Chains A and B, each alone.
Chain A
Amino acid sequence: MRVEISHKFIIGFLAVIVSGVLVNLGVPYLQIPVEFQQLFSICCSLVVGLIIGVLFSRLFTSNIRHLTDAGMRLSRGDLSKDIILSHNAFPDETSDITDAMNEVQQSLRTLVGDIREIALRVAESSQNLSVNSKDMSISSLEVADTVDQIGKGALTQAEMVEQCNRLFKEMAKAIHQVAGSAQKVAESARQTSETAEQGGEIANANLSSLRQVLTEAEASGQQLVTFINQLKQINKIVEVINGIAQKTNLLALNATIEAARAGEYGRGFTVVAEEIRKLADSTTSAAEEIRRVIEGISEESHRVQGTLGHVIDEMERGREGVDHTSQAFIAITRNAESTQTKANDIAELTEQQIASAQRIADSIDEIDKVVSDNAAATQKVSSTTMEQSAAMEEMADSAQQLSTLSEALLSAVKQFKLAEPPES
């Protein structure tokens, strides 16, 4: 039951008065002298008043001390315990203060918890921001270096484009010269083709003559072979004659011996046999002479045959050479015609190349301008990137400061004790 403090003081005052009245009413029955009854009543009233005062003052001061202690804890940042009054049988304004302080404490707990969490996140984010800012600063520096290199490359590119332009102009002149040379080559190829055709006709005529001569030489070789075979037959006949002469010689010799053995009667026959023998000897000598002559003719014929075979081989090789020459002239004619066609094609292509080279030179001029613009733009980008890098470094410093501040905030928030650690 709620009793306000003012009511409690009134009740106490009434209790003192009621106790004084009751004591005055009961004193006559206590056999206390009359002169001391008044004093006794007063003393009793005082005692009752003191007791009630002490009780009331203790009740008041106890709750106020609790509140004071709670306020002190709150001032130290200890938000771990709720405020509970020790004498709260009859709630009064101190109970209201206690409830209000508990609500404040609860709000502070929530606020401090949120602040701590937010400070942690801010610290973490500021750390990340610092790191990212540093990384971005490094990247910006790298980008700046790269852009610087691109700028240098753009300058080099511009120089190369200019050089390329110059080379293209020189190449256009060279193409002009190539076109002129191609026309000269075409003319030379045409003349070569005509000359090769004439050469081929001459080679064909030579080839026909050579074939006729070769045919005649082969016929002569065949006739020579026949002649050699006939010589061999004559030689065989001469050998037969020689054999007959030798046998005749032997028969004549034997006849001479027989005639000689016949004595005077065979004398005439002896002379005849001797003449026959001499005739056989002459025949043998003549046959031997014929054999030697035939052998000489045969050897000479073999040499002629060998020479003729060699000549035929040489003529065959010559015919092959002339044939190859004719083929070569035909090939030269074809190649010359092909060369003429290709040279004409080259001349046409070089004309097209000249036009293309002129267009390329114009395009290179445009590229030169674009490259120059790119070089200037790249220099601007490089300076901008340097400025961005400096800004990123400042951002990194600010993020570092923010991190420091969030850490300081976190350490400040840590002074608040939100809850008792759980008991193990």
Chain B
Amino acid sequence: MTWVLLFQLDDLTYGIKVESVQEIVEKPEQYPLPGAKGCLRSVINFHGEVLAVINLPKLCRCKASHLDPRLIVLTDEFHSLAVQVNSVGSVVEIDIDRVASPGPGSGPPVLGTCQHDDEGDIHLFDMGSVIRQLEKLDLGVDGG
């Protein structure tokens, strides 16, 4: 069993393992980056650490433009960043063994899909793929 944090992109429910989630912050002050373009526009001060704010719907070319005021701070052993989603959900427990392989598609990168009794289909979000995708993008600023 694995705990995942649910969030919405367009009308689909995605989940990300809580091990990758450091914290959810509400309405932090965002500092625009001069000359930035695309999905990276600003940074935040997260407990003294400067984190880039990624507009995940824009990165994944979602249609919905509404953004939740809360930001999800993601981290792994090498990276930390804050992402904006259409809506932040709750934390649920899923059976990782019941996750099916994802089908072919051009949507956001996912590791697989599972069925939840209350939340319906949950797509496990592939954070590593997103970071790799970000590293390939020319964001108009010197990456670090």
Contact = CB atoms under 8 A, between A and B. Distances in A.
B83 interface: no
A277 interface: yes
A276 B122 CA distance: 23
B90 A274 contact: yes
Interface string A78-96: 0000000000000000000
B46 interface: no
A257 B16 CA distance: 11
A378 interface: no
A260 interface: yes
Contacts of A247: 26
A188 interface: no
Given A250-B70, A257-B5, A261-B19, A270 B26 contact: no
Q: Which of B18, B88, B91 has the most CB of A within 10 A?
A: B91
Given A260-B18, A270-B91, A274-B91, A254 B3 contact: no
A360 interface: no
A385 B19 CA distance: 152
A87 B23 CA distance: 195
Nearest to A261: B18
A256 interface: yes
A327 to B, nearest CB: 65
A256 B91 CA distance: 7
Contacts of B19: 261
B36 interface: no
A246 interface: yes
A253 B19 CA distance: 14
A180 to B, nearest CB: 93
A250 B91 contact: no
Contact of A257 (B24, B26, B93): B24
B51 to A, nearest CB: 16
Contacts of A253: 5, 24, 88, 90-91
Interface string A255-266: 011001100000
B15 to A, nearest CB: 12
B70 A257 contact: no
Nearest to B70: A250
Contacts of B88: 253
B7 to A, nearest CB: 11
Interface string B61-90: 000000000100000000000000000101
Interface in B81-116: 88, 90-91, 93
Contacts of B24: 250, 253-254, 257
B3 to A, nearest CB: 3
Contacts of A277: 90
Interface string A381-420: 0000000000000000000000000000000000000000
Given A247-B26, A260-B18, 14 more contacts: A250-B24, A250-B26, A250-B70, A253-B5, A254-B23, A256-B3, A256-B90, A257-B3, A257-B18, A261-B21, A270-B3, A270-B91, A274-B91, A277-B90
The 10 closest A-B pairs by CB, nearest first: A260-B3, A260-B18, A256-B91, A257-B18, A250-B26, A257-B21, A253-B24, A261-B18, A254-B23, A254-B24
25 contacts: A246-B26, A247-B26, A250-B24, A250-B26, A250-B70, A253-B24, A253-B88, A253-B90, A253-B91, A254-B23, A256-B90, A256-B91, A257-B5, A257-B23, A257-B24, A260-B3, A260-B18, A260-B91, A260-B93, A261-B18, A261-B19, A261-B21, A270-B3, A270-B91, A274-B90
Interface of A: 246-247, 250, 253-254, 256-257, 260-261, 270, 274, 277
